[in-house]
Homo-oligomer: A and B are copies of this chain.
Amino acid sequence: MAGEPDVEEVEASPSTREKILDTAESLYARFGFAGVGMRAVAESVGVSKSALFHHFPSKRELWAAVHERCFLEFDARLEAADAHARDAHERLRGFVESAIDALVENPARAPLLLRSLFEVDNEEPADQAARAVLQRVLARVAAGLEQGMASGELRRAPVQHTVQTLIGMTVFHFATGEFGEELFGAPLYSAAEIRARKDHVIDFIERALRASND
């Protein structure tokens, strides 16, 4: 078996496969890998379980495909923000705005992203394509910070720690779901709350990262 199994690129009838991914995304976000059976996905999509195994060779591959699609969306958004930015502060703001845009566009994404970080049977080959995309996203953010610090626009700070902080501030907040809503007393995903979170994050990091002689 020399050839890679290239499971992803069959380009089947877009409708069913995409519906499966959408459904599985929200179910996995809520209940995790082990918490969602193929029967539940199939029933929720409205097809038979066999149809799922026709489109995805195993449960693990479905999980991986859901994650990869999600990460690719982030990558595209951040790449666009990166390209349009004309200085480090604008780039930082663009990262936050577009990352949060990507998160709120589909409420499953924040919990899904969090799960991907610790709900992983490592060395699982199926997950590694998605892993690589996620690495690329993080590397892009790190590079943006690095560049801003090198040019003096941003204060010198440990880049990796700052990346972790940025993810924590954005993803974590929108992953808290019902718990966060009862903490705030307002729906996390309303337009007003989204704007408030963006403003808070941008304000917070600009204060924390602005050059001392600003």
* Residue positions of A touching B, CB distance < 8 A: 29-35, 111, 114, 117-120, 122, 138, 157-158, 160-165, 167-173, 175-180, 183-184, 196-197, 200-201, 203-205, 207-208
Copies in the complex: 2
**Is A200's CB under 8 angstroms from B34's CB?**
no
Besides the known contacts A168-B173, A208-B208, 15 further A-B residue pairs in the complex with CB atoms under 8 A apart: A30-B118, A31-B34, A32-B35, A117-B176, A118-B176, A138-B183, A157-B203, A160-B184, A164-B183, A165-B169, A165-B204, A168-B168, A171-B172, A204-B208, A205-B208
Chain B neighbourhood of A30, CB < 8 A: 118
Q: Is the interface of A mostly helix, strand, loop or mixed?
A: helix
Between A and B, 30 residue pairs with Cβ closer than 8 Å are A31-B119, A32-B32, A32-B119, A35-B119, A114-B114, A114-B172, A117-B176, A117-B177, A117-B179, A117-B180, A118-B176, A118-B177, A138-B183, A157-B204, A161-B173, A161-B197, A161-B200, A162-B204, A163-B183, A164-B169, A164-B173, A164-B176, A165-B201, A165-B204, A167-B172, A168-B168, A168-B171, A168-B172, A169-B169, A203-B208
